[in-house]
Structure formats: structure tokens, C-alpha cells
Amino acid sequence: MIDDLEENADSDAKLEDIWNRLKATVGRDIHYLYRQQVQKGKKAAGFVRTEGKLAAFRDLCAKAELAVEKQVQVFCRILQTYEQTYDESDDRPLDIRWSAPDQGRRPWIRTPGGFVAFAGKKDPQLLTALAEAIEDWKPSPSRMISSKIRAAISAEGAYAEELALSDKHVYWQYYDELSKSPRGDAGHSHRKFLLEAHTARHTERLLDVVGGEAIKFGIKLVDCDPGLNDPKVEGFGSHYNIRVNSEGEKLDALYRYNSYISTKPVSGWHLHPGHIIKLEGNYWVCVSPACDLVPNQKGQAGINESIKAKIKPFMAVQLHPRTKKLGREEVNSNTFVFLKGSDGKISAFSVFEGGQNPSPVWRLFNAENFGVFDVDPVAKTAPIKLHYLCGQTGGLSIETRDAVITAQLRYEYALNLIQKLGVEMTRVGLDYLSPS
């Protein structure tokens, strides 16, 4: 569209250098102001139509005979040029929220690094000023509970740690096993496995101690929500700055919630049950037991002498996309997985493809380097190379493909799929005849 604008400028003197003139009407201050409005749930089209500081931009767009939707596209393209100029070390406008002195009860700035409230030199009530600024910010209930957890860890962390480490025999046994691991690759893998398990259990015990305060705080937070007693009053749910009115929006929220409680970003350093693998456009979920997936161990499982080949055999079940709306009974059937795509949308997948007699599609894969991988710290995915058997006319061939671990089921959801596969693998075929 920018090319079309500049092409029209060649034949119309009034539109000379139109692109640079349009950019000049949208300063960096408008860029920050727009980001502030987006965080409050405002759309780009409404901002372009109504923002007073964009009057010069709208006048110039009118001269170029641009419809509103075209104006929005040009405006967003200008903002994109600003964002491309930010260095990686700079604070992104998307991460900053603020209230100017004339916008709310108190001026404040909020970044991922902290919250700053401003008070006058003669204002003695600093805590009151801070409370008013936080009220004006309107943090979501989830953020408030998260802050309470951080505060509880800060206040009671040392006490919780003392309780967690009180049984010295347990931790002596743990460290004794850790220190006696054999040398070499096998011992290194075993130590990493022990440390990973210890970290998870220790973190869980610490949260068990401090989590009670967060639960009490959450109950108080819900009890004082003004929207619970009067539907006409704006409740704390409005602090999320989203609108969930239509059936489609409600379904999207439901899918996002289901994805959040059942999956997590890819973690670990080797294959685990529940890792979601994208292979040639299809999704597979690893369902082998965790003890069979430890690198350099169980070299006879699946493939004889797999350790010599530096591979890790594992079972995986294919996930089939479900495009139709799910009913309540289907969602609770324990056969669906909710995954976030690269476009941010959540889709439902099932281990059953459908039909009258559905059965899971399973396959034996072999991961190179014992299934060890490195997680990309930005994308939160991990590349992995797989080998698997394919049938040919009168024989078999071994195919090698590059795959990507894109997500991970939480352990209890992975165990559920393992159980489903176990039932299918042990089913007995009966000889009943159906009516024709």
C-alpha cells in the first residue's frame, strides 16, 4: 500500500513525499500513547478515528483519499518502523504502562522491573499515595495473587527452607546417590536426572509452606469484589482489559484456560512423557514411561543395543486436530489436548481420529543423541532428529526427519494419555457379529 501511495504522489504534486510526511505526523509520543490505549483494550481503528493528536495525520490521509481501514494500515506500518529502531536492551513500549498527572488520581509508571508512584514534596502520606496509584493502575486479580506469593516467599522463604531441609537423612541419602554416580556420559546423565527431580520436589515443598497465605489472600480478594453483589458495578474482572461477550470469545477463553492448565513451555534436557513433537506438519505426543527415556540407560528397550547407536527409542501417539465445537462431555473425556499454535490461537486435538471404532495411531520413533536437546530460550522450542521405519514394496526403510518439540503436557495429563494407550494395547478382539 505504501508503494501505491508513492506511485500516486508522482502524478499529484499535493502528495509529494507523502510517506515521509505521514510519518512526521506520528511522533514517538503518539507511539507510546497508542500502546497505553491498547493495554486498556482500545482498538487501532478507534484510536485513529478519535485521538486528537492524530488530527494532522487524518487531514493528510484525507488529501490522499484514504479510507479509514487504509488509514489504520498506514498508522500501524508507521508504528512498526519505530519498533524496528529499538535496541534489544531498550524497554519496549509494550512493556510500559503509566498515568500522567492529568490522567488519574496519582501519576505512576509501571514496567516489568517495578512500579513507581509519584507524590508531592509536601505530601506526608506516602503509603496512601502508593495505594491510590495502585488502585488507579488496576492490576488484575491474578497479578495481585502472584504478588502475594512473591511477598510470602520473601517474608517466609528462610523459614520454609528450614522446614524443607529439616530431615537431614533424606538429603544425605540424596547427595550420597548423587556423588556416587559413575563417571562418563551415563553418570553425567544420571546426575542431571537426580538434580532435575530434586529441584522440582524442593520447589514444591517450599510452595507448600508459603502457598497457604496466597490462598487466604485470594479468598479475601474475591469476597471484596464489588461486582459480585451488584452486576451493574464494574468488578475486578474488568481489570484484565478484555471483552468476552460473544460465544466465540467465550470458547476462545475456555480453550486458552484448558491449554494453560494442561500444558507448559518445553523444559528439561531430554525427552519426557508429554513432550509434543511436530513432525512434517503432524503432532505427536511422547507416551513412553519416564524411566525408559533417561539417556544412556535401558539399552535393550525397543531396540537392541540402542546405546551403541546413541539413540533413544520411544512410543508416540498422533494428535488429530478437531475443528468442530466440543461439547462438555467431550472436553471431560480425557482424550483431548489443547495446544497453542505459532499464530497464538488455541486448537483442540484428540488421540482418536474419529469414526465408529476409533483407535489411537501410535508409532515407535528413535531420537538421535539419546533424545537430548537444547531449548531455544526465546521460542521455547527444541529441535530433535528422529528415525522411524516406513514400509516399502516388499520391505522396510528407515526414514530420518528433523522435528521440533513445541510444547509439553503437564505430568498428570501425560499419564492420562499413557493410560489410554495402555488400554488400547491390551484390548481383546471379540468375535461378535453386527446386524447387516
d(CA 434, CA 422): 26
pLDDT recorded at residue 3: 60
Other Cβ atoms within 10 Å of 245 Cβ, number: 7
Q: Tell how far CA 146 is from the center of its chain.
A: 17
Tens-binned pLDDT, residue by residue, of the chain (436 aa)? 656 665 555 556 666 777 788 888 887 778 777 877 776 667 788 888 888 888 888 888 888 878 888 888 888 888 777 666 654 444 454 567 778 777 777 888 888 778 899 988 877 788 888 998 998 888 889 999 998 988 888 888 788 788 878 888 888 898 888 888 777 776 777 788 788 888 888 888 888 877 888 899 999 999 999 888 888 888 888 888 777 888 888 888 888 999 999 999 888 889 999 999 999 999 999 998 888 888 877 777 767 778 888 889 999 999 998 877 777 777 777 778 899 887 788 888 988 876 445 778 889 999 999 899 988 888 889 999 999 988 878 888 888 999 999 999 998 888 888 887 777 666 666 666 667 6
Name residue 418's beta-bridge partners: none
Taking CA atoms, 434 is separated from 174, 354, 355, 359, in Å, by 58, 19, 16, 19
Contact between 74 and 1 under an 8 Å Cβ cutoff? The reply is yes
d(CA 3, CA 8): 9
d(CA 418, CA 337): 13
Task: Give the contacts of 47 (CB within 8 A, at least 6 positions apart).
Answer: 34, 37, 38, 54
Q: Which three cell numbers stand for residue 291?
A: 524411566
d(CA 340, CA 330): 19
d(CA 255, CA 241): 19
Name residue 404's beta-bridge partners: 278, 383
Phi/psi for 315 (5° steps) reads: -95, 145
CA Rg value for the chain: 29
Secondary structure of the chain as H, E, C letters:
CHHHHHHHHCCCHHHCCHHHHHHHCCCHHHHHHHHHHHHCCCCHHHHHHHCHHHHHHHHHHHHCCCCHHHHHHHHHHHHHHHHCCCCCCCCCHHHCEEECCCCCCCCEEEECCEEEECCCCCCCCHHHHHHHHHHHHCCCHHHHHHHHHHHHHHHHHHHHHHHHCCCHHHHHHHHHHHHCCCCCHHHHHHHHHHHHHHHHHHHHHHHHHHHHHHHHHHHHHHHCCHHHHCCCCCCHHHHHCCCCCCHHHHHHHHHHHHHHHHEECCCCCECCCCEEEEECCEEEEECCCHHHCCCCCCCCCCCCCCCCCCEEEEEEEEEEEECCCCCHHHHCCCCEEEEECCCCCEEEEECCCCCCCCCCCEEEEEEEHHHECCCCCCCCCEEEEEEEEEEECCEEEEEEEEEEEEEEECHHHHHHHHHHHHHHHCCCCCCCCCCC
d(CA 51, CA 66): 17
pTM: 0.70
Contact between 291 and 312 under an 8 Å Cβ cutoff? The reply is no
pLDDT recorded at residue 354: 66
Contact between 23 and 78 under an 8 Å Cβ cutoff? The reply is yes
d(CA 207, CA 145): 14
What's the half-sphere exposure (Cβ side, CA atoms, 13 Å) at 115? Answer: 17
